[in-house]
Amino acid sequence: MDIKKAHIVGIIAAVLVIVGSLMAWKWINLKSEMFYFIIGISVVIGILPFVVSLIIESSKEKENNEMFLEFSRNLVESVKSGTPISKSIINLRGKYYGSLTPYIKKLANQISLGIPVKNALETFARDVDSRVISRAVTLISEAEKAGGEIEGILESVAKSVNETEKLKKERLSVIYSLVVQGYIIFFVFIVIMLIYGAEEVAKPMLYLLIIQGLFTGLVIGKLAEGSLKAGIKHSFAMVALSLLIYMGAKAFF
């Protein structure tokens, strides 16, 4: 992941909070429990921009895949009418395809400048960086290179992308109840930990809760969206909540 301005701001903010809490701890006798609670908040502040970036990237990839399906359908219609694929792509340059629009414009511009369709498509797939689109583009570029029945290949590609997105939505719908159950079980553990907050068993339960939150989040991401990367946001939410709730309870109660 590229380091962006928001990431730097988050890290600086976290460092400032940590420095401020250290100074308060030393000079105004800040309670240890409150100090650790503030440290926990600063860590969350520092990591949050990276997690938000992952969520935005995941959302953008999803939109790109959906818009590529629309682009593929339009391309099929154009090629079926007898227009060569290169000209069809150029003709679609003016249409709006959401977050995919600048990539399609770049693809069309490269082709209009005389760059071979295969090379332009490979650049397009690299820029978008989506497995679904990369597979589809490979099929299209190979069919164009071989000079085969391009409209049939394009129809197959559009159908394949449509089926892939449909399966993802169905999987998410089926897994949704399991995701909810995972969060419910997690919050039940938090309540139990808070009940035993004054006893020695509380800390070991916190460690177990952090481990559970970390791996449960990754499993939820894998089951719901087919990617461990997608589970990072769930892991972050669970681990951050367990730490902040535990340390907050110790600091204020």
- Helical ranges in the chain per DSSP H: 5-27, 32-80, 85-91, 101-112, 117-128, 131-146, 150-195, 202-225, 232-252
Residue 152 lies in a domain: yes
Least confident of 124-133, 151-160, 185-194: 151-160
148 lies in some domain: yes
Q: Does 102 score more than 90 pLDDT?
A: yes
Domain residues for the domain of 127 are 63-165
pLDDT at residue number 202: 67
In a domain, 220, yes or no: no
CA-CA distances (angstroms) from residue 201 to 194, 198, 243, 252?
A: 10, 8, 16, 19
93 pLDDT higher than 80: yes
Asked, for residue 35, whether it belongs to a domain, the answer is: no
Q: What is the CATH number of the domain that holds 81?
A: 1.20.81
87-91, 129-133, 145-149, 179-183: least confidently modelled range:
145-149
Domain-embedded: residue 192: no
- Integer Cα distance of 137 and 119 in angstroms: 11
Instruction: Please say if the pLDDT value at position 143 is more than 80.
Output: no
The verdict on residue 75 lying in a domain is yes
pTM of the predicted model as reported, rounded to 2 decimal places: 0.72
Residue 82 in any domain: the answer is yes
Reported confidence tier of residue 197, pLDDT bands at 50, 70, 90:
low
The pLDDT of residue 176 = 80
Q: Which of 132-136, 148-152, 167-171, 226-230 has the least mean pLDDT?
A: 148-152
pLDDT tens by residue, 16-39: 888 887 787 777 776 777 878 888
Residue 249 near residue 194, CB atoms below 8 Å: yes
DSSP 20-71: HHHHHHHHS---HHHHHHHHHHHHHHHHHHHHHHHHHHHHHHHHHHHHHHHH
Token pair for 155 = 């129809």
Stretch 57-66: mean pLDDT, rounded?
Answer: 85
Q: Which helix (H) or strand (E) holds 97?
A: none
Q: Average of pLDDT values for 178-197?
A: 81
Q: Is residue 198 part of a domain?
A: no
Count of structural domains, the chain: 1
